[in-house]
């Protein structure tokens, strides 16, 4: 087929220990999935069901590339998150079979223009400009599920300029990995290539040009880059 211009490259994520790439279909994100973060944002963790939003697939940044400080914000926040990478999907996926869809796991950052999000929230507007901007979804290499041993005590953390800003265990997630896949598939037909950013623990804060960020999912993935 001929296109009117050269189509953009397919966004793709490296796979650890493998030369082939993971092609990204969509990026879904979960809001409010750790109690302490829900509280720091002024919510009640027990009252609210999972909140979903999305980012364009082109928002990923791979290979520890440095990221320019984004336009249109003076309050860029880091949100370190476990990322689920899917190799299959479907609608209304059963809880028992949800983990069969998982290709692997990574660590990523859901960058948020918090000032624009605050305006959107107070006016009942969509979150797109706060969440779905260019370079807003840096991600580590994906580790295949057969090589991961995630459990409730697995640590997720983020350091900025060598100081710990966010640190939690996966046991603190309000919604588990299968519960997230199951709930999301009630709204969308999930597909191979989907990434799900699963929400951030407490400790979100601003970062600026010149800051160095290092995210870690214990035993699974590391991500390190600078804002320029
Ligand atoms: Mn988030």
Q: CA angle at residue 106 from 101 to 110, to 5 degrees?
A: 105
pLDDT at residue 42, as a whole number:
84
Does 44 have pLDDT greater than 80?
A: no
* Distance of CA 18 from the midpoint of ligand 1 (Å): 28
pTM to 2 decimal places: 0.96
Question: 37 and 76 in contact (C-beta within 8 Å)?
Answer: no
d(CA 190, CA 193): 9
d(CA 66, CA 141): 15
| Average pLDDT, integer, range 44-60 | 88
Residue 38 pLDDT grade (very low, low, confident, very high; cuts 50, 70, 90): confident
pLDDT at residue 48, as a whole number:
73
Give the pLDDT confidence of 89-100 residue by residue, as tens digits: 999 999 999 999
Q: How large a percentage of the chain has pLDDT more than 70?
A: 99
Give the pLDDT confidence of 101-130 residue by residue, as tens digits: 999 999 999 999 999 999 999 999 999 999
d(CA 46, CA 37): 13
Q: How large a percentage of the chain has pLDDT more than 90?
A: 90
pLDDT at residue 1, as a whole number:
79
* Distance of CA 64 from the midpoint of ligand 1 (Å): 19
Of 75, 163, 58, the closest CA to residue 116 belongs to 75
Average the pLDDT over each of 2-11, 30-39, 67-76, 176-185 and give the range with the smallest value: 30-39
* Distance of CA 92 from the midpoint of ligand 1 (Å): 23
Distance of CA 196 to the CA centre of its chain: 6
**Pair of tokens at residue 88:** 């299959």
Residue 217 pLDDT grade (very low, low, confident, very high; cuts 50, 70, 90): very high
Ordered by start, the domain boundaries in the chain are 12-226
The residues whose Cβ lies within 5 A of ligand 1, an ion, are 79, 110, 200
If you ran DSSP here, which 8-state letter would residue 32 be given?
A: S
More confident residue, 104 or 49: 104
pLDDT at residue 46, as a whole number:
64
Q: Which CATH class is domain 12-226?
A: alpha beta
pLDDT at residue 40, as a whole number:
85
Give the pLDDT confidence of 140-187 residue by residue, as tens digits: 999 999 999 999 999 999 999 999 999 999 999 999 999 999 999 999
Question: 61 and 138 in contact (C-beta within 8 Å)?
Answer: yes
| Average pLDDT, integer, range 205-219 | 98
Tell me the average pLDDT of the chain. 96
* Distance of CA 170 from the midpoint of ligand 1 (Å): 15
């Amino acid at each position: 087929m001929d296109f009117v211009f050269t189509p953009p490259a397919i966004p793709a994520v490296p796979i650890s220990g493998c030369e082939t790439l993971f092609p990204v279909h969509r990026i879904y994100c979960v809001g409010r999935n750790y109690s302490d973060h829900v509280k720091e944002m002024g919510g009640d963790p027990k009252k609210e069901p999972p909140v979903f939003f999305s980012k364009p697939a082109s928002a990923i940044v791979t290979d520890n590339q440095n990221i320019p400080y984004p336009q249109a914000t003076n309050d860029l926040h880091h949100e370190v998150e476990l990322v689920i990478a899917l190799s299959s999907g479907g609608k209304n996926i059963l809880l028992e079979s949800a983990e069969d869809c998982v290709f692997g796991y990574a660590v990523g950052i859901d960058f948020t223009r918090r000032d624009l999000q605050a305006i959107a929230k107070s006016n009942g507007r969509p979150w797109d400009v706060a969440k779905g901007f260019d370079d807003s979804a840096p991600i580590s290499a994906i580790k295949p599920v057969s090589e991961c041993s995630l459990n409730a005590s697995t640590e997720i953390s983020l350091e900025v300029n060598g100081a710990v800003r966010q640190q939690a265990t996966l046991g603190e997630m309000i919604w588990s990995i299968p519960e997230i896949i199951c709930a999301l598939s009630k709204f969308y037909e999930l597909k191979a290539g989907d990434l799900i950013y699963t929400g951030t623990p407490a400790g979100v804060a601003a970062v600026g040009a010149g800051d160095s960020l290092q995210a870690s999912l214990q035993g699974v993935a590391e991500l390190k880059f600078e804002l320029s």
